[in-house]
């Protein structure tokens, strides 16, 4: 009889240890998601091809959004929530960090650069993309590099690292540029296309996306020596290690499985909405390295 009770006790103990003690152990964002059955994803409206509205629906699409949905699938498994609901919350370059910080948005995957300054405010996932900051200009404009911008109107998007870089360059080199800060990438390109600016400074992949929605894409080129190399990451609230672990694993698993190659080809080497144009943007060696060795460090820390 004693042997039976001992075996039973061991079996019960093993069962307890193997059962995920979800409710009592969860904290932070994981607890919030479990309790509400909902995750709120931050997204952009015009960051082609990363996170944007592709048609008349209000559901975002894009490269970063596809990776965001990989995190959602991982959370369904982790929390035992097969019917986890997704709520979408539009963010801009200026509102994205505050909305993550105050709990309105649980995860933001768009075109957000991971840098040391922002790391003081939020945490970042492992990197999902790497870009260089360059210029978009008309082929007929004569703009080939940053030195050609002296005394000219140049547009960039408010709240971005490109805005900080171009303003710093303007002051340090006394170039006499009129730097225009538009509210989003769509407005920046509209100012360029309507000749209110001769060049649009932004991340090269985003500039390729803007070309894809131009009236005449062949009239434009991405030019100039990169002024910085930057890594995009997904943002989450600072200090939430349990949630970050799930996010990082979901993205890293997508890299390791090779599925990232299909996702990349879908958005950068095949026709994309809204006009069905192919960005023809091959995967860079830097991005291949990031995929092979995932890290949550910024480009300046790598």
Where are the domains positioned within the chain?
30-128+233-292, 132-228
CATH class of segment(s) 132-228: alpha beta
**pLDDT on residue 220:** 95
Q: What is the pLDDT of residue 24?
A: 54
- Give the C-alpha separation, 138 to 192, whole Å: 9
- What is the DSSP code string of the chain? -HHHHHHHHHHHHHHHHHS--HHHH--HHHHHHHHHTEEEEEE-SEETTTEE--SSSS--BSHHHHHHHHHHHHHHHHHT-TT-EEEEEE--TTTHHHHHHTTS-SEE-SS-B--HHHHTT-EE-S--EEEEEEEEEETTS---SGGGGTTSEEEEETTSHHHHHHHHHHHHTT---EEEEESSHHHHHHHHHTTS-SEEEEEHHHHHHHHTTSSSGGGEEEES--S-EEEE--EE-TT-HHHHHHHHHHHHHHHHHTHHHHHHHHHHSSEETTTTEE---PPPHHHHHHHHS-----TTT-
Task: Indicate the average pLDDT of the chain.
Answer: 91
Give the tens place of pLDDT for each residue, 210-257.
887 788 889 999 999 999 999 999 999 999 999 999 999 999 999 999
The reply to whether CATH 3.40.190.10 applies to domain 30-128+233-292 is: yes
pLDDT digits (tens, 9 = 90+) for 123-140: 999 999 999 999 999 999
Of 52-61, 239-248, 286-295, least confident by mean pLDDT is: 52-61
Say whether pLDDT at 163 is over 70: yes
| Residue 274 pLDDT class (50, 70, 90 cuts) | confident
| Same-fold call for 30-128+233-292 versus 132-228 | yes
């Amino acid at each position: 009889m004693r042997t039976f009770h001992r075996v039973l006790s061991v079996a019960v103990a093993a069962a307890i240890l193997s059962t995920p003690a979800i409710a009592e152990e969860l904290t932070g964002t994981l607890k919030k998601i479990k309790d509400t059955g909902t995750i709120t994803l931050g997204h952009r409206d015009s960051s082609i091809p990363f996170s944007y509205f592709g048609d008349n629906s209000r559901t975002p699409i894009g490269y970063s959004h596809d990776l965001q949905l990989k995190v959602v699938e991982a959370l369904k498994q982790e929390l035992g929530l097969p019917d986890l609901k997704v709520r979408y919350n539009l963010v801009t370059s200026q509102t994205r960090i505050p909305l993550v910080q105050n709990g309105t948005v649980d995860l933001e995957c768009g075109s957000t650069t991971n840098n040391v300054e922002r790391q003081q405010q939020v945490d970042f996932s492992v990197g999902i993309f790497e870009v260089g900051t360059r210029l978009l200009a008309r082929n007929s404009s004569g703009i080939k590099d940053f030195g050609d911008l002296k005394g000219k109107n140049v547009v960039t998007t408010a709240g971005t690292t490109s805005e900080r870089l171009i303003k710093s360059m303007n002051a340090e080199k006394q170039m006499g540029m009129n730097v225009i800060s538009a509210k989003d990438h769509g407005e920046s390109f509209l100012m360029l296309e309507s000749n209110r600016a001769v060049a649009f400074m932004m991340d090269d992949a985003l500039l390729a996306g803007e070309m894809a929605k131009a009236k005449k894409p062949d009239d434009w080129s991405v030019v100039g020596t990169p002024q910085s190399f930057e890594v995009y990451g997904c943002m989450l609230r600072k200090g939430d290690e349990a949630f970050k672990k799930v996010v990082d694993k979901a993205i890293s698993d997508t890299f390791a499985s090779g599925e990232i190659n299909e996702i990349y080809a879908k958005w950068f080497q095949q026709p994309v909405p809204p006009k069905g144009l192919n960005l023809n943007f091959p995967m860079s060696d830097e991005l291949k390295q990031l995929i092979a060795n995932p890290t949550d460090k910024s480009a300046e820390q790598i």
